[in-house]
Structure 1
Amino acid sequence: MKYYIGSDHAGFAVKGLVVEMLKERGHEVVDLGPESDARVDYPDYAEKVARAVVEDAGTHGILICGTGIGMSIAANKVDGIRAAHCHDYYTAQMARAHNDANILCFGERVSGPGVIESMIDAFTATEFEGGRHAGRVEKIMALQKSH
């Protein structure tokens, strides 16, 4: 699987760790920045990753900021994105299984390395279940088109 990854300054320190985790698991990773921990605005990187995921069908993204909240809000403004703000293995697993999330968001300031690794494992290993969940995801996506 190909993953686009981005952060802001508050997620920069752990971004490299996540890139290595993904590569170790055999995934292709495209780091869309930033390149340092200098202060940046998270919506800029949320948009970069979200647009890349939409334009490159079948890919996923990972966004990291201080809490994960801002990145998830910003990424979900891009048509076609289902960015899930996750906290642990279970929420990352359910984001994929039930919501067909295409971007995982989390916070460096609120998640330790072990929890981050477990979220990466859950998100990358879990497939969308479809079935009864497919209609719900279609309804979510229709909300974006209703404006």
Structure 2
Amino acid sequence: MIALGCDHGGFELKQEIIKHLKDKGVPYKDYGTYTEDSCDYPVYAKKVAEAVLSKECEFGILICGTGIGISIAANRMKGIRAALCHDCFSAEATRLHNDANILAMGGRVIGPGHALKIVDTFLNTPFSKDERHVRRINLIED
């Protein structure tokens, strides 16, 4: 299950991602926001992060205008490794090397076609489990 969350700046892109996940048969849970009305991104970052930490959802996807604020908010929670990615190389590398559990994107930065490729790359790339990457993650978590 994929946890989805956004603020008003990411609402439109989140709708595209929902359609994409539905078309692929990928289960998801939408934690809001549900309109384009102005709202506070930390609220939705926290909801998605809590769903990932509780293991209710395997991964999260967060979207705000730039992806920056919502990723910072999510990363405040111990155990969350939210990565802001606007290209497939970064999405693949953060899964392989950082075992990132939340993908963050900017709805005002990236178009939906490319964003959906990034989502697929993130969700389909396993963590490498290389010793050096495990060691580095443990250093982050300590």
Residue 83 of structure 1 and its aligned partner are, at CA, apart by 0.3
- CA distance change for structure 1 residues 112 and 129 in 2, over 3 Å: closer, same or farther? same
- Aligned-pair Cα RMSD in Å: 1.1
Look up the SS of the partner of 1:105 in the other structure. strand
CA distance in structure 1 between the aligned counterparts of 2:25 and 2:128, rounded to whole angstroms: 23
Structure 1 segments, 4+ long, off by >4 Å, are none
Partner AA of 1:67 in structure 2: T
Identity %: 48
Count of residues paired in the alignment = 141
Structure 1 unaligned spans of 5+: 143-147
Partner AA of 2:7 in structure 1: D
Residue 87 of structure 1 and its aligned partner are, at CA, apart by 1.1
- CA distance change for structure 1 residues 44 and 94 in 2, over 3 Å: closer, same or farther? same
Residues 57-107 of structure 1 deviation map (CA, whole Å, 9 limit, x = unaligned): 661000000000001100000111000011111111111111000000000
Normalising by structure 1, we get a TM-score of: 0.92
Residues 6-55 of structure 1 deviation map (CA, whole Å, 9 limit, x = unaligned): 00000001111101212222311000001111110000100010011101
CA distance in structure 2 between the aligned counterparts of 1:58 and 1:13, rounded to whole angstroms: 22
User: Which aligned pairs between 1:97-108 and structure 2 lie closer than 5 A?
Assistant: 97-108=96-107
Structure 2 unaligned spans of 5+: none
Normalising by structure 2, we get a TM-score of: 0.95
User: Which aligned pairs between 1:26-37 and structure 2 lie closer than 5 A?
Assistant: 26-37=25-36
* Farther off after superposition, 66-75 or 22-31: 22-31
CA distance in structure 2 between the aligned counterparts of 1:24 and 1:129, rounded to whole angstroms: 28
Look up the SS of the partner of 1:10 in the other structure. helix
- CA distance change for structure 1 residues 57 and 12 in 2, over 3 Å: closer, same or farther? closer
